Structure 1
Amino acid sequence: MTDGFRPGAATRIARGGKAIYGVPLGILMLEARFPRISGDMGNGATWPFPVLYRVVGGASPDKVVLKGAAGLLPDFIAAARELVRLGAEAITTNCGFLSLFQRELAAAVNVPVATSSLMQVPWVQATLPPGQRVGIVTVSAATLTPAHLEAAGVPLDAPMTGTENGREFFRVLIKAEKDDMDVDLARQDVVDAALALVARHSDVGAIVLECTNMPPYAAAVQEATGLPVYDIYSMVSWFHAGLRPRRFG
């Protein structure tokens, strides 16, 4: 239903039962203060369609990325249910590390849920020729565990690199050392991680960016590596396309 009307009805009957209409996708947000530039999942202008946001109190990047989101599942379930109550028909999140909650969130809200950009890895792998693999660029390779990968359907031996040793991206987003961010330095951190990935693993034929703050730099990664690059923007665009298929003719 795109506008609350029953298609094909002899008369136009508007369907009620929701608080908000025309916004089928809900996004669960971490609680953070760093700038969300154009292309970032948390910048509403990034999306060519409207989205519903819900910030999960206490879910800092440090707690989710470095501490395994311990104790936060009930808060995410409550926030997801609130988005569905408001009108969301599907749920996603703004941290790839929340793949840990994929099964529980989907069971709790009874609507489609896509928690992590990492869920694209099996899809992208299917497009590659024999002998090539999907590589992952993550904000924190040290804490992206087999449990995170398994929950997203990612092979446990998937090659990956992180941004922990960069000059800006990790320091601002995860360590919260400051509110402002040098965008050029952040971009270089992500590109450097991708270049290190392909230098270390010659069989990488495509890249998936785990972090939902990386889409602003996806084009730079593609240009630097010459490989296809997928991120949360590509996944959510696909996800939304199923909620509101394009009408032709």
Structure 2
Amino acid sequence: MFPKRGYSTYGQDIGILMLDTRFPRPIGDIGNANTFQFPVKYKIVKSATPDKIVAARDVARATLPLFIEAAQELESEGVRAIVTSCGFLTVVQDELASAVNVPVVTSSLMLVPLVSRMIGPSRKVGVLTANAQTLSKVHLEAVGIDDTIDVVISGMECSQAFHSMIFQDLPNPDFKQIERDIYQACAAMKGNEPSIGAFVFECTNLQPYAQRIQTELRMPVFGIIQAVNLLQTSCSDHWQLS
């Protein structure tokens, strides 16, 4: 099957809208192309920094025109689906999806209703977020997380190593300390609420450390990478010459 013509490059089915950051991103992070087993196309949304997006929903919504412009550019360049690098962008999910003609996933939080059904009504979804103090009911309801879904939310705002990397754009973060802090946060959540049946990582920068949670806590972990893989298998033509 031949690809649709009219683009400068081909084979990059997933477009990723990136916040404007400079901190290093290990494999497993959405901002490292080696995370994926297929090509992706990045678009940096200039001036959309983590402090603006995570600060408050109204601040994040003020950046919507920038995200729409970047999403439309990705679509014009041939991507078949679009994701973002910050889970707090749920507040612009509807507008961003309406602005393009390809599927859009702004946040791994969109997986929470699905994961909740997977683990059954007697168990809860543990949500680990960059900042539990600013993750509001509006962020959750924007992607279908309502009072019928039992969630336990914890944040990384007390981790100096994680916080300085994300919000101070630290060029040399302490990755080992970040991993310890993420593990301790998840272990504490599970210890305080044994009914947690799975974790969803809101922040895309948490996902490089999911393996330790899966191995040591014996818990499934879902995040933006699972959403990207779903989109890739659903939207790609997988075309080849024969």
Shared fold (TM-score, shorter chain, > 0.5): yes
Q: 1:170 aligns with which of 163, 168, 172?
A: 163
Quick check: 1:65–1:174 contact (8 Å CA) kept in 2?
Answer: no
Larger deviation: 65-74 or 202-211?
Answer: 65-74
- Which residue pairs with 2:184 in the alignment? 192
- Which residue pairs with 1:234 in the alignment? 226
Tell me how far 1:245 sits from its aligned partner: 6.9
Q: 1:51 aligns with which of 37, 40, 54?
A: 40
- Which residue pairs with 1:28 in the alignment? 17
Tell me how far 1:225 sits from its aligned partner: 2.2
Tell me how far 1:200 sits from its aligned partner: 2.2
Tell me how far 1:239 sits from its aligned partner: 1.5
- Which residue pairs with 1:111 in the alignment? 102
Distance 1:110 1:246, change over 3 A: closer
Opposite residue 166 of structure 2, the aligned amino acid is: L
Quick one: distance in 1 between partners of 2:38 and 2:84? Answer: 16
The share of aligned pairs that are identical, in percent, is 42
Quick one: distance in 1 between partners of 2:77 and 2:238? Answer: 24
Quick check: 2:116–2:124 contact (8 Å CA) kept in 1?
Answer: yes
The alignment status of 1:128 with 2:119, answered yes or no, reads: yes
Distance 1:245 1:18, change over 3 A: closer
Secondary structure at 1:63's aligned position in 2?
helix
The alignment status of 1:180 with 2:169, answered yes or no, reads: no
Tell me how far 1:190 sits from its aligned partner: 1.1
Tell me how far 1:75 sits from its aligned partner: 0.2
Quick one: distance in 1 between partners of 2:80 and 2:8? Answer: 13
Structure number with greater Rg is 1
Opposite residue 49 of structure 2, the aligned amino acid is: S
The alignment status of 1:71 with 2:62, answered yes or no, reads: yes
Quick one: distance in 1 between partners of 2:130 and 2:120? Answer: 27
Quick check: 2:61–2:91 contact (8 Å CA) kept in 1?
Answer: no
Quick check: 1:191–1:221 contact (8 Å CA) kept in 2?
Answer: yes
Secondary structure at 2:205's aligned position in 1?
coil
Quick one: distance in 2 between partners of 1:159 and 1:125? Answer: 12
Larger deviation: 195-204 or 73-82?
Answer: 195-204
Opposite residue 161 of structure 1, the aligned amino acid is: S
Structure 1 gap segments, 5+ residues each? 5-14
Secondary structure at 1:134's aligned position in 2?
strand
Which protein is richer in helix relative to its size?
A: 2
Opposite residue 165 of structure 1, the aligned amino acid is: C
1:89-108 mapped onto 2 (5 Å cutoff): 89-108=80-99
Quick one: distance in 1 between partners of 2:20 and 2:210? Answer: 24
Quick check: 1:212–1:232 contact (8 Å CA) kept in 2?
Answer: yes
Tell me how far 1:202 sits from its aligned partner: 2.1
Opposite residue 132 of structure 1, the aligned amino acid is: R
The alignment status of 1:161 with 2:150, answered yes or no, reads: no
- Which residue pairs with 1:141 in the alignment? 132
The alignment status of 1:243 with 2:238, answered yes or no, reads: no
Opposite residue 66 of structure 2, the aligned amino acid is: D
Quick check: 1:161–1:196 contact (8 Å CA) kept in 2?
Answer: no
Distance 1:182 1:138, change over 3 A: same
Larger deviation: 166-175 or 144-153?
Answer: 166-175
* Greater relative contact order (Cα < 8 A, sep 6+): 2
Number of corresponding residues = 235
Tell me how far 1:18 sits from its aligned partner: 2.3
1:155-174 CA-partner distances (Å, limit 9, x unpaired):
35521101111131122112
Tell me how far 1:246 sits from its aligned partner: 7.0
Q: 2:142 aligns with which of 143, 151, 157?
A: 151
- Which residue pairs with 2:50 in the alignment? 61
